[in-house]
A and B are shown apart, each in its own frame.
Chain A
Amino acid sequence: QLQLQESGPGLVKPSETLSLTCTVSGGSISSSSYYWGWIRQPPGKGLEWIGSIYYSGSTYYNPSLKSRVTISVDTSKNQFSLKLSSVTAADTAVYYCARQTNGWLVPIDYWGQGTLVTVSS
């Protein structure tokens, strides 16, 4: 059974960079059939797709966040990572890592449990 687990600091200061890692178990991140992505959900609000990466390193970003987002992959560790720079309180959210279908980035069929990141001084 595929499992995804987010890890990283739960508190980040304003203007700093948020960094999270997703560890994939029960399957290979190098599968040609899937993309791997990040989705976030501010408290009490809806879902927002942040971006996705293919095992080869090809990336796709939400245009509204593109200038601040970097997603990378480490196939040797079966992990992929998110960096979001210059954070503000508006970036406070539960961040989910997920698996997405190759070619179209949807549907999102496996999700991590999510990790709350709070932006505060």
Chain B
Amino acid sequence: QSALTQPASVSGSPGQSITISCTGTSSDVGSYNLVSWYQQHPGKAPKLMIYEGSKRPSGVSNRFSGSKSGNTASLTISGLQAEDEADYYCCSYAGSSTYVVFGGGTKLTVL
């Protein structure tokens, strides 16, 4: 069982927006602004899409955005495109004994 809870799947049509939630606790998501999000296509390594809750690395589309409220972080993808179909994982710093925790992953289907 993963430390962070994500929905198993979400779906949307091209052009629509979707949001993926990532629920943790006051020991991880709630205590640090250190949530990151990763996109993983089948057979490929994960790719960093969002870090420190809402920052985008260079080269990542501004269609991807992140936010946090309390113990829940969210990834929003606007203007869905076929290439966005992938698995998405959240990750958080979890303090000086657990260090790093991941969510179980969410499969995004673009209808």
Contacts and interface: CB of A to CB of B under 8 A. Distances in A.
Partners in one complex: yes
Interface of A: 37, 46-49, 52, 60, 62-63, 96, 100-101, 104-109, 111-114
A93 to B, nearest CB: 13
B2 interface: yes
Given A105-B100, A106-B93, 17 more contacts: A46-B103, A46-B104, A46-B105, A47-B102, A47-B105, A60-B99, A62-B99, A62-B100, A63-B97, A63-B98, A106-B34, A106-B91, A107-B36, A107-B48, A109-B51, A111-B45, A112-B45
Contacts, number: 63
B72 interface: no
A106 B92 contact: yes
Contacts of A101: 51
B97 A107 contact: no
Given A104-B93, A107-B52, A49 B102 contact: yes
Interface of B: 2, 32, 34, 36, 38, 45-48, 51-52, 57, 89, 91-93, 97-105
Nearest to A64: B98
Given A96-B45, A104-B34, A107-B36, A46 B51 contact: no
B76 to A, nearest CB: 18
A101 to B, nearest CB: 8
Given A46-B2, A63-B97, A104-B34, A111 B46 contact: yes
A46 B102 contact: yes
Given A105-B93, A106-B34, A108-B36, A113 B45 contact: yes
